[in-house]
């Protein structure tokens, strides 16, 4: 994948950031590019930017780039910048490839405005990738049985460089659930139905109603969708 698409999307998103803002900070490689650019802007212009990170990855990247870390007890984010693994034609998203979807969704819903930044390769007509579902370890067996009633396939996400399952920042497991193609009218319904399973903490379906804009970057430019 050409990283210039991520760079151009992040660069356009940077224009939305103003001095004194509280940012909700998502996770992933495109957000890290954004934070690196933001760090340059902070140093060059002497800005004060506050941030509420959604993962340890974004926490460390934000600190490294001069963002002052705050929390949701103190502040409501003015703007949330986050990435996505798929974005459909209606701006529904699937997130959670990096396993941070629970905190990402909390930060997004707490923010006044949510902007998703992606390389244009993440754009699809309809959502179709497996949906990450965060589940309490105690509920793993039960949740798998219930989710298999809705999904074509349910797989426990295994670690890389570590034996056993991926553990989220919240200490939970991730189940990747193949629900097939999600038509626009079914996206919000599937998000809600999945969360009704006892032991499920959250899932990676981000319906269009919580997304204000998407910025898609290409090799040469970026645009708002």
- Domains (ranges, CATH) in the chain? 4-124+208-224 (3.40.50.1360), 131-204 (3.30.70.260)
Percent of the residues in the chain that have a pLDDT greater than 90, as a whole number: 96
How does the average pLDDT of the chain come out, rounded?
A: 96
pLDDT at 161: 81
Task: Calculate mean pLDDT across residues 78-104.
Answer: 97
* Stretch (H or E) spanning 196: none
Give me the catalytic one of 15, 45, 48, 104: 104
Is pLDDT of 40 > 80? yes
Q: Is 104 annotated in the active site?
A: yes
Residue numbering of the annotated binding site: 27-30, 82-85, 95-98, 122
1: pLDDT confidence band, cut at 50, 70 and 90? very low
pLDDT digits (tens, 9 = 90+) for 128-177: 999 999 999 999 999 999 999 999 999 999 988 888 999 999 999 999 99
Is pLDDT of 2 > 60? no
Q: Flag whether the pTM goes above 0.75.
A: yes
Instruction: Tell me whether strands 213-217 and 114-119 are parallel, antiparallel or unpaired.
Output: parallel
Is pLDDT of 178 > 90? yes
> Which residues pair with residue 200 across a beta bridge?
135
Residue numbering of the annotated binding site for substrate: 27-30, 82-85, 95-98, 122
pLDDT at 159: 87
Task: Calculate mean pLDDT across residues 176-201.
Answer: 97
Burial label, 18 (beta-carbon count in 10 A; 0-12, 13-18, 19+): exposed
pLDDT at 162: 81
- Please give the C-alpha separations between residue 27 and each of 13, 48, 108, 116, 165, in angstroms, as whole numbers: 15, 21, 12, 11, 20
């Amino acid at each position: 994948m050409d990283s210039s698409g991520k760079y151009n999307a992040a660069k356009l998103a940077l224009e939305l950031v103003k001095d004194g803002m509280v940012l909700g900070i998502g996770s992933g490689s495109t957000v890290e590019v954004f934070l690196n650019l933001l760090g340059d802007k902070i140093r060059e212009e002497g800005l004060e930017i506050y941030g509420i990170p959604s993962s340890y990855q974004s926490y460390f990247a934000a600190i490294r780039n001069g963002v002052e870390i705050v929390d949701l007890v103190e502040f409501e984010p003015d703007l949330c910048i986050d990435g996505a693994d798929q974005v459909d034609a209606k701006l529904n998203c699937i997130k959670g490839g990096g396993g941070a979807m629970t905190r990402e969704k909390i930060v997004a819903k707490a923010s006044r405005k949510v902007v998703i930044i992606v390389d244009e390769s993440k754009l699809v007509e309809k959502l179709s990738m497996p949906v990450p579902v965060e589940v309490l370890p105690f509920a793993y067996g039960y949740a798998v049985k219930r989710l298999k009633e809705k999904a074509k396939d349910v797989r426990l996400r295994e670690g890389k460089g570590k034996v056993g399952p991926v553990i989220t920042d919240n200490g939970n497991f991730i189940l990747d659930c193949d629900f097939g193609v999600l038509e626009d009218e079914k996206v919000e319904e599937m998000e809600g139905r999945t969360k009704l399973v006892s032991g499920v903490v959250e899932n990676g379906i981000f319906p269009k109603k919580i997304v204000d804009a998407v910025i898609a970057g290409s090799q040469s430019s970026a645009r708002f969708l």
